[in-house]
Every structure is written in C-alpha cells, then in structure tokens.
Amino acid sequence: MRSFSEFDPIAVTIWFFSVIGIAMFSGHPLVMSISLAGAILFFIVRNGLRHGRSHLFFLILFIVLALANPIISHNGATVLFVLNNAPVTLEALLYGINSAAMIVGVLYWFRSFTQIMTSEKVLRIAGAISPKLSLILSMSLRAVPMFAHRAKQVSDAQKAMGLYNDDNIIDDLRGRMRVFSIIATWALENGIITADSMTARGYGTGRRTQLRRFRFSSSDAAFTLVTLALLGVSAAAVASGALDFNFYPHIEADVKGAAGISGAAAYGALVLLPVIIETEVSIRWKYLQSRI
C-alpha cells in the first residue's frame, strides 16, 4: 500500500512532466480544463482545504491573465464592446481565459511537484542521469545553509566586538562587505579542504558505490508504463492535429474523430492517476483501521 509520493522519484518525475508537457503544448480548451481541474483536485487531495492564500493568489492571477489579453490584443471578429476606441473581442477574451487556465494549471502542478520532490529525491534523479551531477548538487544543497549559518556567526561576532556602533547606511554596508569577504575566503578554504579530503579517501580511483534508499520496484515500472502509454496516446492526438483549436479570426472548436476523443480521454486518465492511487490508499487504510 503506497501513496503516490512514495513511488520512485523517477516514476513520479516522468508523470509530472508528461502532464505538464501536454498542457503546455496543446492549446485546446478541453485539455486546459482537464489540466487545471486535475491540478486543483490533486493539490486538495494532498493538502486538504489548507493553503487558502495560495488558492486566492492563483485565483487573482487567473483573473488578471484572463483580462489582460483582450485589453492588449484586439484580434477577433466578434466585438463585445469598445474601450477607449479599442475593440474588445470575444475571441481575445476566450483566448485569455484559455491561456490563464494553462499557466495557472502548470503552476499548480509545479507547486505539487515541489511538495513531493524533496532534495533527496532530486539527488536520486540526478544520480541516475550523472553521478557527478548528483555530487555537485548534494554539495551545493549542503553549502547554502552552511554558508548562511556561518555568515550569521561572523555578523554576530562583529556586533559583539562593537563594529556596528555607527547606526547608518555606510557602516552597515561596510559591515556586510566584511562579512562577505570573510565568508568568501572561508568558502575557498573549505573547498580546498574538501577536495583534499576526497582525494585522501580515494575518490575517483576505484569503482563508485552509492547508498540506494529508493528502489525501482515492479509497481514503479507498471506505473511508468501506464504513464508512457497514456502520454503516447495524448501526444499522438496533439501532434496529428486532432486536438487543434483556433481562436482567430473565428472560433473553430472541434475534437477531430476517434484520435481527438481518445487523446482527451487518455490525458484525463493520466491526470487522474495519482488521485486514484491516493483515494485507493485512503480507502484501504480506513478499512484496515475499521478492522482493528
């Protein structure tokens, strides 16, 4: 019984970029609606009704993006009204709503992606691509909080020595420059020490080993195969033009034949995969609790 976030990071990343890729390269309103609705549903399933400020921000962003296009662009044949001698058209308004749905949906997906993909999972993916890249990322992720902590220590020490007696901008800038100079020197020295330590321990002289906390299991493989299959159907529909949609000069809405219908259905199934998994896990967990 595994939740979606417990799947191997490679499988999770493939799914996220499959969903986001179709949403970014298909302009059909049906696909945008599925993407936005699925992104919001997935975010709520994982987080509940919390993060009200995030939802409010995305709502305001959606409204601003939807209204910006008809104000800037005046293309289209159906004029709704004239504002400051500039026509506001139905086609431009609908195009703005469609673009806003795409952008907000993708932002929701990336918000969920950052919640699931911790730094350890990112290193797992980087290690699968390039071990050296994984090493650089791990050292960088470690260095950022370490440098911030050391900078605070240096700043506190200088304050204790009375180097910030003059309460003005010039004194503050001088103090920050001293802290930056000390931290830069310490970073260079620390880099040399780290390189010498890695050389002394034999880095790069033998076969590389690594700690594997994640294992690509059969369930990960099955999930990835289903993801790629649904992605293939959706991508084929987009590439063949079965999910084309024209806003200008007139709206031409059409889902062309079986390819368009199957492409939209496959994308809907792809978007709902993690929701189905999370729901199934939740139901099974409540059932096991009721048996206790």
The 10s digit of each residue's pLDDT in 96-115 is 898 899 999 999 999 988 88
21 and 118 both lie in a single domain: yes
Per-residue confidence (pLDDT) for residue 208, from 0 to 100: 65
Whole-angstrom distance, CA of residue 6 vs CA of residue 226:
17
11 and 140 both lie in a single domain: no
Per-residue confidence (pLDDT) for residue 39, from 0 to 100: 92
Q: What is the pTM of this model?
A: 0.72
49 and 137 both lie in a single domain: no
- Structural domain containing residue 236: 4-122+216-291
Angle ∠(263,266,268) on CA atoms, nearest 5: 110
Q: Looking at residues 69-84, what average pLDDT do you find?
A: 76
Per-residue confidence (pLDDT) for residue 131, from 0 to 100: 67
- Whether 207 is in a domain gets the answer no
| 252-276 residue pLDDT tens | 766 667 778 888 899 999 999 988 8
Check if the beta carbon of residue 95 is closer than 8 Å to that of residue 73.
yes
Residue 170 has pLDDT above 80, yes or no: no
Whole-angstrom distance, CA of residue 228 vs CA of residue 276:
17
12 and 105 both lie in a single domain: yes
Residue 158 has pLDDT above 80, yes or no: no
Lowest mean pLDDT among 91-95, 267-271, 287-291: 287-291
Per-residue confidence (pLDDT) for residue 292, from 0 to 100: 75
Helix (H) or strand (E) holding 158: helix 131-160
| 105-156 residue pLDDT tens | 999 999 988 888 877 777 777 666 666 766 676 777 677 778 888 888 888 8
Per-residue confidence (pLDDT) for residue 156, from 0 to 100: 82
- Whether 205 is in a domain gets the answer no
100 and 196 both lie in a single domain: no
Q: Which of 32, 12, 153, 44 is nearest to 103 (CA)?
A: 32
DSSP E strands in the chain: the ranges are 79-83, 86-89, 245-246, 252-253
Comparing 174 with 163, the larger pLDDT belongs to 174
- Whether 208 is in a domain gets the answer no
Comparing 55 with 291, the larger pLDDT belongs to 55
Would you say the C-alpha torsion 233, 239, 242, 246 has a positive or negative sign?
A: positive
User: Average per-residue pLDDT in the chain?
Assistant: 81
Report which listed range, 4-8, 24-28, 30-34, 260-264, is most confident: 30-34
Last residue of a domain, one of 200, 231, 255: 200
What residues are paired with 24 via a beta bridge?
A: none
175 and 266 both lie in a single domain: no
What residues are paired with 246 via a beta bridge?
A: 252
Residue 36 has pLDDT above 90, yes or no: yes
| 206-221 residue pLDDT tens | 666 665 667 778 888 8
Last residue of a domain, one of 165, 200, 235: 200
Domain count, the chain: 2
- Whether 67 is in a domain gets the answer yes
